[in-house]
């Protein structure tokens, strides 16, 4: 589904990704762990096409197409979803309006019929219920006044509505209380654990991986994947830290 080959990227002219390679197949869950500043969010933003994150080398294939040739909104329509470490507030635009616009823009891009108002609300209600989020919250402006944990939960509601093929979830677990962590973990399982979907979890802690068991765990350090293992690698990291494990 995703093949990253020797990816180099700069942020504000500073090299951050330095030859990163990673392959994710349909049906797999991967976790990336790594020290602060290693380039984990940069990887997500670069794959999402954020302005200011410049690819200086390498290639990325997503479902057979050249991902880097697509505009950010086209990457979303192709099935890429980015769960933000810091979801953005958009004053004056309600979640319902925003997500309906987003869902239908993606559908139009893929040549599908747009959802009617009723169809969209039914879908939104279903996904909000899955994440135990009060539907009234989706009537509020996008992320405005949401607590840190509510923003993360809202990201998962968005993922449920947009039904991506690949979700890159950047520290979705940070800011979540114990119950919310379980609800989001189970939500990720329900939405994304499918033979034709895949997940890349960026996280610092084992706790999310208890709910969403990864097939592979990677350590990202200094802009590259320096070690890959199974779920046990996350436990090893938790016990011994990066210096010992990734050296």
Partner 1 sequence: MSEVLALPAHKDEAWRYADLEALAALWPLPDAEAVVVPANGAFARAVVQDAGGVTRLNLTLERGARAAVHVLNTGAVFGRVELAVTLHEGADFTLGAAQLGGGEATLEVVATVRHAEPGATSRQVVRSVLAGRATGTCLARVEVAKGAVGTDAVQSIRAMLLDRTATANAKPELEIFADDVKCAHGCAVGELDPAGLFYMASRGIAPAEAKKLMLQAFIAEAFVGAQAEERLLALALHALGALV
Ligand X SMILES: Nc1ncnc2c1ncn2[C@@H]1O[C@H](COP(=O)(O)OP(=O)(O)OP(=O)(O)O)[C@@H](O)[C@H]1O
Core vs surface per residue 128-138: b (16+ CB within 10 A) or e: bebbebeeeeb
Decide whether 114 or 229 has the Cβ nearer to partner 1. 114
Binding partner at 178 among ligand X, Mg ion, partner 1, none, C-beta below 5 to 8 Å by kind: none
Core vs surface per residue 47-84: b (16+ CB within 10 A) or e: bbbeeebebeebebebeeeebbebeeeebbbbbbbbbb
Least separation in angstroms between CB 132 and partner 1: 22
Q: How is residue 245 written in tokens? A: 């494990």
Least separation in angstroms between CB 220 and ligand X: 7
Site for Mg ion in 34-63 (CB under 5 A): 40-41
Least separation in angstroms between CB 170 and Mg ion: 6
Least separation in angstroms between CB 84 and Mg ion: 10
- For residues 175 and 120, the answer to whether their CB atoms sit within 8 Å is no
Which residues make up the interface to ligand X (CB under 6 A)?
Answer: 11-12, 14, 16, 34, 36-42, 85
Decide whether 30 or 165 has the Cβ nearer to ligand X. 30
Least separation in angstroms between CB 42 and ligand X: 3
DSSP 154-212: HHHHHHHHH--SEEEEESTTTT--HHHHHHHHHHHHHHH-STT-EEEEE-S-THHHHHS
Binding of partner 1 by 160 (CB under 8 A)? no
Binding partner at 76 among ligand X, Mg ion, partner 1, none, C-beta below 5 to 8 Å by kind: partner 1
Pairing type for strands 166-170 and 80-83 reads parallel
Decide whether 44 or 175 has the Cβ nearer to partner 1. 44
DSSP 21-74: EEEE-TT-EEEEE--TTSSHHHHHHHHHT-TTEEEEEEEEEETTEEGGGS-HHH
Report CA Rg, the chain: 18
x-marked contacts with partner 1 along 68-107 as a string, rule CB under 8 A:
---xxx-xxx---xx-x--xxxxxxx---xxx-xxx-xx-
Least separation in angstroms between CB 171 and ligand X: 6
- Residues at the contact surface with partner 1, assessed by CB under 8 A: 48-51, 71-73, 75-77, 81-82, 84, 87-93, 97-99, 101-103, 105-106, 109, 141-142, 158, 162
Binding footprint of Mg ion on the chain (CB under 5 A) = 40-41, 85
């Amino acid at each position: 589904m995703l093949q990253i080959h020797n990816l180099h990227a700069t942020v504000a002219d500073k090299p951050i990704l330095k030859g990163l390679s990673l392959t994710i197949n349909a049906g797999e869950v991967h976790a990336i762990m790594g020290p602060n500043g290693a380039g984990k969010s940069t990887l997500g933003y670069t794959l999402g096409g954020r302005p200011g994150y410049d690819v200086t080398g390498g290639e990325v294939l997503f479902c057979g197409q050249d991902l880097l040739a697509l505009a950010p909104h086209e990457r979303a329509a192709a099935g890429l979803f980015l769960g933000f470490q810091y979801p953005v507030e958009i004053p004056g635009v309600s979640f319902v309006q925003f997500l309906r616009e987003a869902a239908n823009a993606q559908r139009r891009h893929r040549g599908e019929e747009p959802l009617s108002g009723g169809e969209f609300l039914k879908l939104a209600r279903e996904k909000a219920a899955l994440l135990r989020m009060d539907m009234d919250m989706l009537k509020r402006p996008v992320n405005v006044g949401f607590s840190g944990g509510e923003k993360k939960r809202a990201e998962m509601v968005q993922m449920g509505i947009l039904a991506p093929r690949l979700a890159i979830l950047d520290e979705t677990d940070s800011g979540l209380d114990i119950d919310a962590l379980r609800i989001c973990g189970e939500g990720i399982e329900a939405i994304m654990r499918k033979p034709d979907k895949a997940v890349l979890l960026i996280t610092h802690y084992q706790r999310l991986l208890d709910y969403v068991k990864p097939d592979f765990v990677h350590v990202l350090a200094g802009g590259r994947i320096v070690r890959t293992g199974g779920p046990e690698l996350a436990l090893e990291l938790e016990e011994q830290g990066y210096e010992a494990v990734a050296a």
